[in-house]
Amino acid sequence: MGFLAGKRALIVGVASPRSIAWGIAEAMRDQGAELAYTYQNEKLLSRVEKIAADTGSRIVIPCDVASDEDIYNVFAELNKHWDSYDILVHSVGFAPREQLEGDYMDVITREGFQIAHDISSYSFAGLAKAGLSMMQGRDGAMLTLTYMGSVRALKSYNVMGLAKASLEANVRYMAQSLGPKGIRVNAISAGPIKTLAAAGISDFRKMLSHVEGTAPMRRTITPREVGDVAAFLCSDLASGVTGETTFVDAGYNILGMPELAGG
Ligand SMILES: NC(=O)c1ccc[n+]([C@@H]2O[C@H](COP(=O)([O-])OP(=O)(O)OC[C@H]3O[C@@H](n4cnc5c(N)ncnc54)[C@H](O)[C@@H]3O)[C@@H](O)[C@H]2O)c1
């Protein structure tokens, strides 16, 4: 029996078989969790339905996290299938493409800032709040995905770095607020992985090869490696862990002067 047997997880953020959320869903399924999914728009519906079916789930609910109505509707729909749930996975990030190209001061705009923070950070608290009554009394766990650009300045990552810093603070405030209810909130800071979202970041290929050449493990990581840590963090095995950001990045973040690390 897997260590998530008897748990129900809502997965927000599957867009393709390369999505980090897909690696998380597979790992949670393998540990015995029952799964439900959301999809951002009609274009993604058939893909998410297929992925859901591959993990034994028929619960697929629309949700554009820019819409409060959609967010509340997710739990109204979910409640038709489940009376409660245990795990929220938030694997959503977005900034307008022009924000992720060129120099930060050249491209930053008020609108770009607002969109990046709204979709990539606020939506985690928004979803958590909307579904809270379904998690009451369940020793629930919530998990989001962040990136090292929150704590280091990286070329081209630009306003997403600010949004990820906000998301990590969100994790700490949510953990403080929900801890007394027995709900834990954590983040995984993943190393670069080639996904649809990553394709929007200019020079992403160079980031991958830089990590391959310098990370202590001399490689990048897979969505499944993130998924296995996510499954652990959302399980009772991690019952004493909340408010944390855990790196799954082949060790890259520990390096000083990474350009010299490749030898
Ligand atoms: N790929 C990487 O290198 C990497 C590294 C660290 C962290 N992350 C983070 O992991 C998370 C998942 O990204 P991914 O790399 O798996 O890419 P992905 O493109 O597979 O997933 C991004 C998801 O965000 C969803 N999304 C975007 N805007 C949305 C909206 N308005 N409403 C609902 N959903 C919306 C998309 O539908 C998609 O499912 C993101 O938060 C990303 O920043 C990615």
Give the Å distance between the CA of 260 and the centre of ligand 1: 31
Amino acid at 123: S
Q: Which of 39, 85, 157, 252 is catalytic?
A: 157
Give the Å distance between the CA of 249 and the centre of ligand 1: 17
Q: Strands across the sheet with 245-248, in order?
A: 60-62, 34-39, 8-12, 87-90, 141-146, 184-190, 245-248
Annotation marks residue 147 as catalytic: yes
Mean pLDDT along residues 97-105: 96
Cα–Cα distance for residue pair 44/40, rounded to 1 Å: 7
Q: How confident is the model at residue 200 (pLDDT cuts 50, 70, 90)?
A: confident
Give the Å distance between the CA of 228 and the centre of ligand 1: 18
Q: Is the CB of 92 under 6 A from ligand 1?
A: yes
Cα–Cα distance for residue pair 109/66, rounded to 1 Å: 18
Cα–Cα distance for residue pair 2/111, rounded to 1 Å: 45
CB 130 within 8 A of CB 71: yes
The H-or-E segment that residue 187 falls in is: strand 184-190
Q: What is the pLDDT of residue 168?
A: 99
Give the Å distance between the CA of 236 and the centre of ligand 1: 26
Render pLDDT for 168-179 as a digit per residue (tens, 0 to 9). 999 999 999 999
Assign 145 to helix, strand or coil. Answer: strand
**Is residue 133 scored above 80 in pLDDT?**
yes
Q: Is the CB of 230 under 6 A from ligand 1?
A: no
Annotation marks residue 122 as catalytic: no
End-to-end CA gap in the chain: 44
Strands 60-62 and 34-39: what pairing? parallel
> For residue 157, how many C-alpha atoms fall within 13 Å in the half-sphere facing its CB?
21
Closest ligand 1 atom to the C-alpha of 13? 39
Cα–Cα distance for residue pair 46/183, rounded to 1 Å: 32
Render pLDDT for 2-37 as a digit per residue (tens, 0 to 9). 999 999 999 999 999 999 999 999 999 999 999 999
